[in-house]
Structure 1
Amino acid sequence: MHGSGSRAAWLALAVAASALGAAAARGEGDAASAELRGSVAIGVEGVPLAAVAPLVVFLEPLDGAAPVSPTPPAVMHQHDARFSPPFLVVAVGQPLDMANDDAIYHNVFSYSRPNDFDLGLYPAGESRRLELRRAGVVKVYCSIHESMSATILVVPAPWHDTVAPSGRYAIAGVRPGRYRAVVWSEHLPSEAREIELRPGERARIDWVVGTPGDAGR
């Protein structure tokens, strides 16, 4: 009995060690992963952050760092002849489900090259999946309902956060490496800084972004 108990304890330790090793390889362990947080403010007095929302901070790997584990699918719904949410951030190659929750047909499409697509007509209760393979802005429409529109921001990697109304953001679980940190808005020029994140590091970048009215890039 004692020998059997020892073998069981050894096996449990081996399984735990294997799980920790896999998490570390994905950059998910507390000791291995890094974090970037901070704030975003408008550099023009009297202009609220809401005037240029949504704002997104994302990380672009500069040294080939990429996640090992698959990214869970994102979902954009069609509900009451509207896209929900009307703005969505996905990573390059992340599965995206376009779900029809209405009791009518929809035909979801985009002309935004090179991520253009046409999902065709599909009825209530069905969903069509796609993967967007290039970073950039994708404008989404329905060929049946002209009032339907949405925006998808495709970012290079799954490390991103939409800036809160308070101006704060936090990107956790980042694999250590060199990155270009970018703050993006459709209403402003993008701002970027290079940063190196080390294992366990909790870095901070506070941004002051420019004048509304300029086209985002």
Structure 2
Amino acid sequence: MKLITVSVIFWTFFSVWGINVEIPHPSQKKAEGSITGTVVLSPKNAAVRFGGGLYGRPAPSSGAQTSNDSVLVVLMSSQPVSASPQTEPIMLDQKDQRFSPNLLPIRRQQVVRFRNSDPVYHNVFSLSDTKKFDVGRRPMGEHLDVTFDKSGLVDVFCDIHSNMHAVIYVMPDRALSWTKIQSGASFNFEQLSPGSYELKIHARGYDEVSMSVEVSSDEQANVGTITLNS
């Protein structure tokens, strides 16, 4: 910390007083920490998948396999965060009989646009408690906008194609930030004020993992390798 001497002249007494004023040096930065870690997805047991039919029906699959699904890592604050959804609708496309993306994180009150980009009909729906909807049978080029006003997970299916499945992750109000990574990759949240945080790690078809993390000044909190099991 540098001390800068400021001379204040009191002409009434014709004398000069030296006053030391403590001013932060420009190069001094706020103490901040970070959180880092790695996420690995265990081989997924895909012997049964769900979808097709309004209430879902089992369909055979190829058994256990290594997953290449995206992993969502959410950083939670101890207090609600003041944040607004995007002004424009976020696209959840149907292309090549798949949802793109198949894991979509959004804020509450976000509008999601369900568009059919396939030359076949799709009928996208959800029976999740967080949001129930049915966009109906839509040909190529048509879309429908849906607003998500409640936090939680929304499983999205196509009533015509049983292999199609996506998850919309509607963020809790305490969600500070998030990132999507692949299995085996690392995540890093930087410029965090010292304090208590919570991590939530989610991937389609896997058990969600939550953990508390303490962040100290100018230190990196490494949570190591986190494995998600299906």
Structure 1 residues 88-103: aligned runs within 5 Å: 88-103=104-119
Deviations 1:123-155 (A, max 9, x none): 321222223233332211112333322222232
CA contact (8 A) 1:40 1:163 kept: no
> Match of 1:183?
201
- Structure 2 Cα separation of the partners of residues 101 and 120 of structure 1: 15
Report the AA paired with residue 207 of structure 2.
L
1:161 maps to 2:188: no
Q: Name the counterpart of 2:212.
A: 193
Equivalent-residue separation in structure 2 for 1:116 and 1:174 (angstroms): 36
User: Aligned with 2:187: secondary structure?
Assistant: strand
The Cα of 1:42 is off from its aligned counterpart by 5.2
Please list every run of 5 or more consecutive structure 2 residues that lacks an aligned counterpart in the other structure: 1-28, 43-65
SS of 1:63 mapped into structure 2:
coil
What residue identity is the alignment partner of 1:38?
A: T
Distance 2:41 2:97 in 1: 37
Query: In the TM superposition, what are the counterparts of 1:22-101 in structure 2 within 5 Å?
Result: 36-41=34-39, 51=67, 53-67=69-83, 70=86, 73-101=89-117
Change (3 A) 1:66 1:203: farther
Work out the CA distance in 2 between the residues paired with 1:83 and 1:162.
16
2:158 corresponds to which residue?
A: 142
Amino acid at match of 1:208: T
Between 1:163-172 and 1:112-121, the stretch displaced more is 163-172
Which segment drifts farther, 105-114 or 153-162? Answer: 153-162
Structure number with the higher helix fraction is 1
In the alignment, what sits opposite 2:226? Answer: 209
* 1:63–1:178 contact (8 Å) kept in structure 2: no
TM-score by length of 1: 0.61
> How many residues in Structure 1 have an aligned counterpart in Structure 2?
175
Question: 1-side partners of 2:38 and 2:118: how far apart?
Answer: 37
How big is the shift at 1:108? Answer: 1.0
Amino acid paired to 2:149: R
Contact 1:90 1:158 in 2 (8 A): no
5+ unaligned residues in a row in structure 1: which ranges? 1-30, 45-49
Q: Which moved more, 1:93-102 or 1:35-44?
A: 35-44
Q: Which residue of the partner structure matches residue 63 of structure 2?
A: none
3-state SS of the aligned residue for 2:129?
coil
Whole-Å separation in 2 of the counterparts to 1:194 and 1:115: 31
How big is the shift at 1:101?
0.8
